[in-house]
Chain A
Amino acid sequence: MRIHLEGRARVVGDDINTDYIIASTRKRDTLDESLLKRYLLETVDPSFAASVRPGDLLVAGANFGCGSAMEIAATVILAAGIRAVIARSFSRTFFRNAINNGLLPVEAETGGIDEGDQLVVTLDEGALTVANLTRGSQLEAKPLSPMMARILDAGGLVEFTRRGGWGP
C-alpha cells in the first residue's frame, strides 16, 4: 500500500488530550464532524480551527490523544481535512481510532518541525517516512504493526470488518 501526503505542518505540544482535540461539551450538541470541526483544538488555540486548510498535517509532541477514548477526536481531525498526525508518541486508544478511520498516525521525532514547514509523509510497503521540504531533512518513522497496516490498507475498520475481519 502506498500513501503520499504533502502539506503544511500545524504544530501543537505534548499531552494533547482528546478533550483538547474536541471538548466533550461540544459533542452534546451534535456528532456531525462537519459542524464540530470548527471547534477543533479550541482549548489549545481558539483560532486554530479557522486557520486549518485541507491538506494540513498535524504535528505534535509526546502522548498525542491521551485521556478519553472518544473516537470523534480522530474523525473531527479528518473532517477538517487533515489526513495524518505526526507525533513523538500517541496514546493507544487514539492510535487505534485513527487507524480504524483511515487517519494516518505517524510516530516520529517531531522536535525539528516548525509551524508552517512543508512536509511530505510517505507510506510505501510498510516504510513510513517524513520529509521536511522546508528544512531539507528526512525523518524515519516507526513502521506500522502488521495488524494496523492491514486495517489501514482495507480503508479502516468498517471495510476490514465488512471483508470478514479476522475470519470465522
Chain B
Amino acid sequence: MSGQTISEKILSAKSGGAVRPGDIAVCDVDLVIGTDASSPMAIDYFEKMGGERLFDPSRVVFSLDHYSPPSTPKTAAFHDRVRAFAARTGAEVLEVGVGISHQVVAERGRVLPGDLVIGADSHTVTCGALNLFATGVGSSDLAAAMISGRIWLRTPETIKITLSGTRPAGLAAKDAALAIIGELGAEGANYQTLEFHGPAVDAFSLEERFVFSNLAVEAGAKAAIFGVDAATIAYLEGRTATPFVAIDADADAVYAREIGVDISRLSPRIAVPHSPNDVVEIDAVAGTPVHMVFLGTCTGGRVSDFHEALDILERCGGRLAPGVQLVVTPASREVYLRLTADGTLGKLAAMGAIVTTPGCGACCGTSGAIPGDGMTVISTANRNFKARMGNATASIYLASPAACAAAAITGRITDPRTIG
C-alpha cells in the first residue's frame, strides 16, 4: 500500500480509519469558526436542526470581522444576534476590531499542526500554512458541526507544488502565489488539496506562506498545506502551550499532479479585472492610472506586508501621488498594535493613509472605503470580481504590497523594482 499525503493523514486521523482520495471521511473537528457574515444564517440552521448546545463551546469561535465596525443598524443587529447566541452557548466571540477570523485563530495558537478546522469563510484555507487541514464551508455545514463536532468530507486528491530556486530581489510572496493560481486557473485545484514542498519553501516566512495558502482557494483548492520547519515552530512559540506533532507526507505518497515552480524565474505579477486567475507580469499593465490603493485583508494585511509597502513608500520619499487614496487595514489587532509599536502606522498616516479598523475592511464592500464610480483600485486582497468592493463600475487589480505602494507613489501601476 502506498503512502499518504498530508491531508490524507489528517483526515485518516480525524475519521479513525485510513482514507484514500475519493473516500468519504466523517471527521472530528478541532475548531469551528463562524463570522458575522455567515453565523446569523448558521444560528438559524442550528435552531432548525434542533440544536440546543454546542458539542464543545471551547471549540467554537465567532468572529465579527466582515462588518467591522457595523455601518448600518442591520449589521449591528447581526452582531448582537451572534453575541447573544455565544453568551447562551458559551462560544468565544472575537469582537469588532480583533481581526479576521483565520488570522486571529492562527495568532492565538488556536490552530495547530495536524488539526482539522472548518470555517464558514472560504479563506479559512489560509490556516493550512501551519500544517493543518483547514477548509471553508457554508452556514449549514457549520451549524451541523456546531452540534455534532463532526463534518463529512470527501478525501481530496493532492497536488504537490515543489518550490525551488533562489528568490530574486523584489519578488514578493504574492507574486509567486499569483503565478501559481494563474497557472492553475479558477478551478485547477477544485476539490483538491495543494501541498507545498521543496527547497525554496525556506525562502518564505510563515507570514508569507499564509499568502500561498490563502490564494489557493482562488484555484478552487479545498485545503493548502505546508510542512513544519523552523519557521513554523518559531511562529507557534509563545502562541500555544499545547504540544503538537508535525505531519509530513510519506515519501511514496501518491499525488494527482506535481507542479514544479522555479522561483528564480518569477517576477512581479498582477491579477487584472475581473478574475484573480487572470494573472500577467506587471509590466503588461504598467502605466495604468490608479485612484485607490488598498493595503489589507487576509492575503496582504500582516506585519511583513505593511513593512514591504512602507519600505517602498519611504525609499520614494513618502509622497502619495495627487488624487490617490491609500487605505490601510491591518488584518488583526495584533498586527495593528505591532505596527503602532514599531511606528509603521504612524508613518503611513503621516503620508496621508486612511487607517481603518482591523477586519475584512474594504475587500468585499462590507466595511466602508467603497471605490467611486469608474475608479481603478490596486489592492493586496485576493478577489477582484466585478462589484467585489461594492461598486460594479470599479476595476480592481491584485498585486503585492510593494506593487501597491509603488502605485501609491506614482499614481500608476508600476513595477516596484523600478522605483526607489
CB within 8 Å of B: which residues of A?
A: 15, 17, 19-20, 23-25, 27-31, 43, 62-63, 66-72, 74, 89, 91-93, 96-97, 100-101, 145-147, 156-158, 161-162, 165-166
Main secondary structure of the interface of B (DSSP, over half): loop
**Contacting pair B187 A166 (CB below 8 A):** no
Cβ 8 A contact of A24, one of B45, B71, B365: B365
Query: How far is A103 from B141 in the complex, measured between Cα atoms in Å?
Result: 15
* Extra pairs beyond A43-B386, A161-B50 (14, CB < 8 Å): A19-B387, A23-B387, A25-B364, A28-B74, A28-B75, A28-B366, A66-B187, A68-B122, A69-B120, A70-B138, A91-B190, A145-B24, A147-B24, A165-B147
Q: Which 7 pairs between the two chains have the least Cβ-Cβ distance?
A: A71-B138, A97-B138, A63-B187, A100-B140, A69-B136, A161-B49, A25-B365
Question: Chain B 1-32 against A: per-residue CB contact (8 Å), 1 yes, 0 no?
Answer: 00000000000000000000000101000000
Output the least CB separation between A94 and chain B (Å): 8
Q: Which of B40, B49, B75 has the most CB of A within 10 A?
A: B49
Closest to A30 in B: B74
- Tell me which of B48, B139, B147, B152 has the highest count of chain A C-beta atoms within 10 A of its own C-beta: B139
Q: Which residue of B lies closest to A156 (CB)?
A: B140
Chain B 28-49 near chain A by CB (<8 Å), digits 1 or 0: 0000000001101100010011
Complex partner residue of B187 from A62, A96, A162, CB under 8 angstroms: A62
Q: Is B388 an interface residue (CB 8 A)?
A: yes
Q: Is A71 a contact partner of B41 (Cβ separation < 8 A)?
A: yes
B365: which A residues are within 8 A, CB to CB?
A: 23-25
CB atoms of B366 and A69 under 8 A apart: no
Q: Within the complex, which residue of B48, B67, B121, B220 is in contact with A92, where a contact is CB–CB below 8 Å?
A: B220
Cα separation A74 to B67 with both chains bound (whole Å): 22
Interface string of B60-86 (1 = CB under 8 A from A): 000000110001101100000000000
Bound-state Cα–Cα, A93 to B191, Å: 9
14 contacts between A and B (CB under 8 A): A15-B275, A19-B388, A20-B385, A24-B390, A28-B74, A31-B41, A66-B220, A68-B121, A68-B364, A69-B121, A93-B137, A158-B45, A161-B144, A165-B144
- Closest chain B CB from A61 CB (angstroms): 11
Which residues of chain A are within 8 angstroms of B136 by Cβ–Cβ distance? 69, 93
Task: Report whether B138 and A158 are in contact in the complex, using a CB–CB cutoff of 8 Å.
Answer: no
Assess A166 versus B26: contact at CB under 8 Å? Given A15-B275, A147-B152: yes
Given contacts A15-B275, A66-B187, A158-B45, contact A28 B67 (CB under 8 A): yes
Check B37–A70 contact: CB distance below 8 A. yes
- Judge if B280 is at the interface, Cβ distance under 8 Å: no
Rounded to whole angstroms, the CA-CA distance of A67 and B190 in the bound complex is 11
Known pairs A29-B72, A92-B191, A92-B222; A69 contacts B38 (CB<8 A): yes
Smallest beta-carbon distance A161→chain B, Å: 4
A62 neighbours in B (Cβ, 8 Å): 186-187
Complex Cα–Cα for A20 and B386 (A): 8
Asked whether, in the complex, the Cβ of A28 is within 8 Å of the Cβ of B72, the reply is yes
CA distance A158 to B390 in the complex (A): 32
A147 to B14, CA, bound (A): 18
In whole angstroms, how far apart are the Cα atoms of A91 and B190 in the complex? 7
Q: Which residues of B contact A146 (CB under 8 A)?
A: 24
Instruction: List which B194-232 residues lie within 8 A (CB) of chain A.
Output: 220, 222
Given A30-B74, A71-B41, A96:B220 Cβ within 8 A: no
Measured in the bound complex, the distance between the Cα atoms of B139 and A96 in whole Å is: 10
Specify which chain A residues have a CB less than 8 angstroms from the CB of B190 in the assembled complex: 63, 89, 91-92
Contacts of B139 in A (CB 8 A): 71
Determine the residue in chain B with the shortest Cβ distance to A101: B140
State whether A97 and B275 are in contact (beta carbons under 8 Å apart), knowing that A28-B72, A28-B366 are contacts in the complex. no
Q: Any chain A CB within 8 A of the CB of B148?
A: yes
B391 — nearest CB in chain A belongs to which residue? A25
**Complex interface: chain B residues within 8 A of A158 (CB):** 45, 48-49, 140
Instruction: Return chain B residues, CB-CB under 8 Å to A43.
Output: 385-387, 392
A163 nearest CB across to chain B (Å): 10
* A63–B386 touching, CB < 8 Å: no
Bound state CA distance, A70 and B139, in angstroms?
7
Contacts A67-B383, A68-B122, A89-B187 given; indicate if A19 touches B220 (C-beta within 8 A).
no
Set of chain B residues within 8 Å of A24, measured between Cβ atoms = 37, 66, 364-366, 388, 390
